[in-house]
Amino acid sequence: MNAMDTKVMDKAIQWLAPEFDQETRQQVQWMIDHDPESLSESFYRSLEFGTGGMRGIMGPGTNRMNIYVIGMATQGLCNYIKKNFPGRDDLKVAIAHDSRNNSRLFAETTAKVISANGIHAYLFESLRPTPELSFSIRHLGCQSGIVVTASHNPKEYNGYKVYWDDGGQVIAPHDEDIIKEVEKIQSIKEVRFEGNPALIHALGQEIDEAYLSCIASLSLNPEINSKYHDLKIVYTPIHGSGVTLVPAILKRYGFTNLMNVPEQDIPDGNFPTVVSPNPEEKAALNLAIEKAIATDSELVMASDPDADRVGIAIRNRDGSFKLLNGNQTGSLLIYYLLKNWSEKGKLKGNEFIARTVVTTPLFEDIANEYGVKTYVVLTGFKYIADLIRNKEAKEVFIGGGEESYGFMVGSFVRDKDAISSCAMIAEVAAWAKDQGMTLLDLLESIAVKYGLYKEHLISIVRKGQSGVAQINAMMEKFRSEPPKSLGGSDVVTILDFSSSESEDMLTGQKVKIDLPKSNVLQFVTADGSIISARPSGTEPKIKFYFSVKTKVNKQSELVQAESILDSKIKALIADMKLDQ
């Protein structure tokens, strides 16, 4: 037995102790006796906080999501909160959860541990969207917040996202320091599982109303919404928490012709009507699009299980539906916001928008026209939240987004928000209609004005312990042997966010990147193509992002231009020599 096997076995044997429930002990014993591979995967490491917190497959083990891992994480968090806010007896933590299997159990376990540590636990009475959890932290004056969710991951996953007192997900140093506190806990005997009911408080309609009122205040053209109140919209929560608030906010925005997909309105952690509850994937919207075609609707919107991300489909001229990627949806929102802020005299010169390093530069092209600053941050909305916190005394955040279908308007929520995004997307559709355009017309007019951008994403999955090593090896090879040209164009700049350096390949000059270190590489070519490589912080995969651009003079040129860009992307992929 090698050192790793010994370490795994030692950990597993600890989980046979009486402190663990009988079902857990039986499952661990079965793996010891019959399934050494699963045993290794379950115990070879402890789950860590990545870009989205702690996320993993449910089951027994230190590398799995279960009440014991959650208990230890929560105990570590409680210890950390007390260290950061010493001497206070009014500490508060807000807790929410989505529709996933075990989410309520995990949320209740979290509340019990928090209350057992003398901290007030504010637990939502039932499933609620992640952005509402972010909102509630600042609204209630909490020191931290937790949402139990695995976002859009497959049904076997669950997760645990931690937020700080600003309503944003924890970033350095808090994330690393919380982990240090968790690692100090050597046994579940150190976890206070017996809750104090007097310190557990239910959250419900009162927070819903406060949150919805803030979203309602974002509307820029309520009279246009009223004029086109009968705009036909199909919305699906894909069995998730969006069902609690999206229909309500669309009604509050004035839209009266909302269609649903009844079988997907039912919260269900098995997600029985889809292969994956991910609005990035076309199949997840199939039922909603079928409903839209049958009802002659103009817009389809779908949120993921914790309702922080939204995917949309819009009408083509032949009556079929076109699914937009996150960059396209975000560009529609940014254009609408900036144009209307400008026309209504709301721009005072200190406003800004934000995007992540792998999101389309089109955001900047639009913002530059209106004299609005664009900040570029690392992948993850927690960095946009941190940006807002650092700027809010002097600058005003209008909106921002990332390519992975996450958008945020206004700053009362400090995370991506499908609830407010659905409301604003519907408003954009009504506004476009008032301009004599469909959403497709508006999207194409933006391409003519600023240039046609085309993006493509490739995700390579490498599961398990060996997968981590393979992904690391891929990144190391790109660093040690970077491509000299891609798609027939020389690589002129390499940005390595791990070393925080940008290198000009023509002069050799290196410039510091003023962002936290992150395992991301970008190659920029002479023709403006951008290729990014980024291992996921929450899933066993490495992502490659391709962004290309060309100018078009009129809408009739778009089809040919898209074809040219598709060919360019294929050439870039071939030159990257990705082993799929």
b/e 340-369 (16+ beta carbons within 10 angstroms → b): ebeeeeebeeebbbbbbbbbbbbbbbbbee
Question: Could you tell me if 225 and 430 are in contact, meaning their C-beta atoms sit under 8 angstroms apart?
Answer: yes
394's tokens: 């002097």
E strands within 517-575?
Answer: 521-525, 530-535, 541-550
CA angle 156, 159, 162 (to 5 degrees): 175
Torsion angles phi and psi, residue 323, rounded to 5: -85, 130
Torsion angles phi and psi, residue 177, rounded to 5: -70, -30
Q: At what angle do helices 418-434 and 130-140 cross, to 10 degrees?
A: 110
Sort 339 into a burial class: Cβ within 10 Å, 0-12 / 13-18 / 19+: middle
CA angle 336, 342, 343 (to 5 degrees): 90
CA angle 260, 263, 266 (to 5 degrees): 95
CA 43: distance to chain centroid? 27
Residue identified by tokens 């230190």 is: 62
Q: What dihedral angle (degrees, nearest 10) is formed by the CA atoms of 203, 199, 167, 250? A: 0
Q: How far apart are CA 395 and CA 348, in angstroms?
A: 10
**How many Cα atoms within 13 Å fall on the side-chain side of residue 80?**
27
15's tokens: 């989980």
Q: How many CB atoms lie within 10 A of CB 468?
A: 15
Helix (H, G, I), strand (E, B) or coil at 21: coil
- Catalytic site residue from 134, 151, 420, 547: 151
Reported as type and span, the H/E element at residue 455 is strand 452-461
Q: Is 151 a catalytic site residue? A: yes
b/e 448-460 (16+ beta carbons within 10 angstroms → b): bebbbbbbbbbeb
Residue identified by tokens 């020191």 is: 143
Residue identified by tokens 């506004």 is: 431
213's tokens: 């009122």
Rg (CA), the chain: 24
Q: How far apart are CA 142 and CA 133, in angstroms?
A: 11
CA angle 492, 495, 498 (to 5 degrees): 155
**How many Cα atoms within 13 Å fall on the side-chain side of residue 283?**
7
Supply the residues annotated as catalytic: 151
